[in-house]
Amino acid sequence: MIRINLLPHREEKRKARRQQFILFSALAALGGVLVWFIGHSIIAGYVDGQDEKNALLKQEIALLDKEIAEIKGLREQAEALLSRKQVIESLQTNRTEPVHIFNELARQMPEGLFFKSLKQTGSRINITGYAQSNARVSNLMRNLDASPHLQNAELVEVKAAVLNTRRVSEFNLNVSIERQPVEDAEKLKGQPPVTAGGKP
């Protein structure tokens, strides 16, 4: 016996295919949304992590800038202290300088000569005095030039004068102080003074 299906099977197949297509489309859309969400979450995580790293870097840079400013301030303080130390050392050296100068002048003074006045202006000393002869003034200038503490002796003038009814040479000369380093100046502190030479 032959069976004939009179139901609209083509319409049913078409309907089934349409339902499958809608289902697959919905699944594909859901998969796309899921992939987008996962990708967005991963990228957002990377961005947040990078933002945290940037914030940490900015914080560390700010700390380093602060430390650099402190180091700069410490360097300025160290330079100021060093400059002050050098000034103090210079003052300590110059404090005993007159004693050394008088001591050296007494050492280099030849016989038959004495000083009338000494005047210091900076590193220059003006000396006036009397000598038995011009040769003694020349001898004094040679001694001053040979001194390790004095240099550049220059005669301003020498003229004849009378002192206690005796004819003498009155002289006026300039000499420069040769500044000693601090270490050398410290070595000179223990030297005893020397008495002056003879008088006319």
Per-residue model confidence as pLDDT tens digits over 129-169: 999 888 888 998 888 888 888 888 888 888 888 888 888 88
Residue 185, exposed/middle/buried by CB under 10 A (0-12, 13-18, 19+)? buried
Cβ(76)–Cβ(121) below 8 Å: no
What is the reported pLDDT for 93? Answer: 66
What is the reported pLDDT for 181? Answer: 56
Do 109 and 87 sit in the same domain of this protein?
no
What is the reported pLDDT for 160? Answer: 87
Give Cα 165 to chain centroid, integer Å: 63
The region of weakest confidence among 23-37, 81-95, 136-150 is: 81-95
- Assign 60 a pLDDT band (cuts: 50, 70, 90): very high
Strands 113-121 and 150-163, how do they pair? unpaired
Cβ(193)–Cβ(199) below 8 Å: no
Residue 196, in any domain of the structure: no
What is the domain extent for residue 115?
Answer: 98-188
Do 61 and 132 sit in the same domain of this protein?
no
Do 107 and 156 sit in the same domain of this protein?
yes
Residue 129, in any domain of the structure: yes
End-to-end Cα distance, the chain:
174
What is the reported pLDDT for 120? Answer: 86
**Gap between the Cα atoms of 74 and 69, Å rounded:** 9
* CATH number, domain with residue 174: 3.30.1360.100
Residue 61, in any domain of the structure: yes
25 torsion bin: left (phi>0), alpha (psi -120 to 50), beta (else): alpha
Do 151 and 70 sit in the same domain of this protein?
no
| Domain count within the chain | 2
Q: What mean pLDDT value characterizes the chain?
A: 82
SS3 breakdown of the chain: % helix, strand, coil, rounded to 5?
60, 20, 20
Give Cα 130 to chain centroid, integer Å: 50
Do 124 and 175 sit in the same domain of this protein?
yes
The region of weakest confidence among 48-62, 109-123, 148-162, 182-196 is: 182-196
**Given a cut of 90, is residue 62 above it in pLDDT?**
yes
Residue 6, in any domain of the structure: no
